[in-house]
Amino acid sequence: MNSTFALEQLMRWYGPNDAVPLAHIAQAGCTGVVSALHAIPVGEIWTKEAIQTYKDNITAANLTWTVVESLPVHEDIKKGDGQRDLYIERYKECLHNLSACGIKVVTYNFMPILDWVRTDTAYRLPNGAEALMFNKADYAVFDLFLLKRPNAEADYTPEELAKYTAHFENMAAAEKQRIFKNVLLGLPGSEIPFTPAEILDLLNQYQHINREKLKSNLFYFLREVAPVAESVGIQLAIHPDDPPYSVLGLPRIMSTHQDILDMITAVPNKANGLCFCTGSYGARPDNDIVAMLKYWKSRVYFLHLRNTKRDDEGNFMEDNHLDGDTNMFAVMQEVVKLMQEEQRSIPMRPDHGHKMLDDLGKTTFSGYSAIGRLKGLAELRGLEHGIRAFLQLN
């Protein structure tokens, strides 16, 4: 078996203010980083000069940068109103500029308002390490009693309302404040949290948008930008919803195999592909991760490898990379076979590591401390190496 095609082992880097410097990423054994121009407001143009300057800093650390995560999609595009067409034209210009600077993959998502939701960013594990956690009862407390989203009660059964009301009434003030802060965290890289007023105003703007309308807006966007991406040699990789079900009453449209099928059917352009995140898809028990990977293998342009552990209450936590509900061995086996079949390497990063050891005393982006991701990278690297060696011998 040809051994040339292997995973491109990358690490996410949030720029000069990241607590994890480029030198440490290189020491971890990565060949490059996944990054973005976080300082540029959503909807503004990434100029060639800004992109190249950013890339030069990465290259100076003997690392590469060919995967952008993320080039954000403006809310007007998601809503299909306002200055949608203007922002789409700017997005196209960004793609041209990124390609000119050697970028090959552009990751994005189409989640309204909040890119991700967790209720606990420092869930203490039995061994003392900390993980990201989504607790459904805590989320309901935020939704019903802290944010006080209009008509939120309609999304819960009478039994759930009674249960979550009791949970709220028994909760200490400090715990309420912690949940409030965690759910309203801004995008990693921005350090700017949303305010309740901003969230409620944005939610009001989405009142008339259901799943079908949001999907239609995604397809409109892709029909415009995918041909441009293909013409300049860029692969678009959409990240799944996180978590992969409705939060705050907002529609989710990239959570299942059927969602992917709808998107690819609507916009079959080859540049239209996936950031296949095993953690996000894995948070739903009805998603067969290995089967999805087998089916969509040719459209997988970027891999997020992480693992979640679910329970029957709808809660999930970020588990060790080789533990959790997703069979990471089976995933890696399919990935290795895919790369050999299609004669291509796939960029990958270990996602959402535990906070542990010396990192426990440091301020880092949630899920992006150095040592936990290094542990995950080492486990995934060893898993890939073992599978490749086994397949070569048999």
Q: Which residue out of 54, 101, 277, 281 is catalytically annotated?
A: 277
Which DSSP state fits 116? Answer: -
What pLDDT, on a 0 to 100 scale, did the predictor assign at position 393? 65
Confirm whether 319 is a catalytic residue. no
CB-based contact 379:354 (threshold 8 Å): no
Q: Which residue out of 54, 352, 354, 359 is catalytically annotated?
A: 352
- Write out the chain's pLDDT in tens, 394 residues: 455 799 999 999 999 999 999 999 999 999 999 999 999 999 999 999 999 999 999 999 999 999 999 999 999 999 999 999 999 999 999 999 999 999 999 999 999 998 899 999 999 999 999 999 999 999 999 999 999 999 999 999 999 999 999 999 999 999 999 999 899 875 444 556 677 888 899 899 999 999 999 999 999 999 999 999 999 999 999 999 999 999 999 999 999 999 999 999 999 999 999 999 999 999 999 999 999 999 999 999 999 999 999 999 889 999 999 999 999 999 999 999 999 999 999 999 999 999 999 999 899 988 999 999 999 999 999 999 999 999 886 6
What pLDDT, on a 0 to 100 scale, did the predictor assign at position 1? 44
Distance CA 82, CA 101 (A): 31
Sheet architecture: strand order including 307-310: 120-124, 130-134, 316-319, 307-310
What pLDDT, on a 0 to 100 scale, did the predictor assign at position 199? 87
Read off the amino acid at residue 128: G
Q: Which residue out of 239, 242, 262, 354 is catalytically annotated?
A: 239
What pLDDT, on a 0 to 100 scale, did the predictor assign at position 197? 85
Confirm whether 277 is a catalytic residue. yes
| CA atoms within 13 A of residue 38's CA, in its CB half-sphere | 17
**288 three-state secondary structure:** coil
CB-based contact 110:254 (threshold 8 Å): yes
Sequence-ordered strand ranges (E) for the chain: 8-12, 32-35, 64-69, 105-108, 120-124, 130-134, 235-238, 272-277, 300-305, 307-310, 316-319, 347-350
Which DSSP state fits 353? Answer: P
Distance CA 29, CA 70 (A): 23
Write out the two tokens for 133. 């956690």
What pLDDT, on a 0 to 100 scale, did the predictor assign at position 224? 98
Confirm whether 76 is a catalytic residue. no
What pLDDT, on a 0 to 100 scale, did the predictor assign at position 189? 43
Write out the two tokens for 210. 């259901």
What pLDDT, on a 0 to 100 scale, did the predictor assign at position 59? 98
Neighbours of 79 (CB within 10 A): 18
**122 three-state secondary structure:** strand
Query: What is the C-alpha end-to-end distance of the chain, expressed in Å?
Result: 10
Confirm whether 304 is a catalytic residue. yes
Q: Is the peptide bond before 70 cis (omega within 30 degrees of 0)?
A: yes
Which domains, from first to last, does the chain contain? 8-117+209-393 (3.20.20.150), 120-183 (no CATH)
Q: Which residues contact 114 (CB under 8 A, 6 or more apart)?
A: 194, 247, 248, 250
Confirm whether 321 is a catalytic residue. no
What pLDDT, on a 0 to 100 scale, did the predictor assign at position 3? 57
Confirm whether 245 is a catalytic residue. no
CB-based contact 271:301 (threshold 8 Å): no
Distance CA 389, CA 392 (A): 5
Q: Which residue out of 138, 242, 351, 359 is catalytically annotated?
A: 351
Which DSSP state fits 10? Answer: E
- Our measurement of the distance from residue 281's CA atom to the centroid of its chain's CA atoms, rounded to an integer in Å, reads 10
Q: Which residue out of 38, 74, 304, 321 is catalytically annotated?
A: 304
**What's the 3-state SS for 292-351?**
HHHHHHHHEEEEEECEEEECCCCCEEEECCCCCCCCHHHHHHHHHHHHHHHCCCCEEEEC
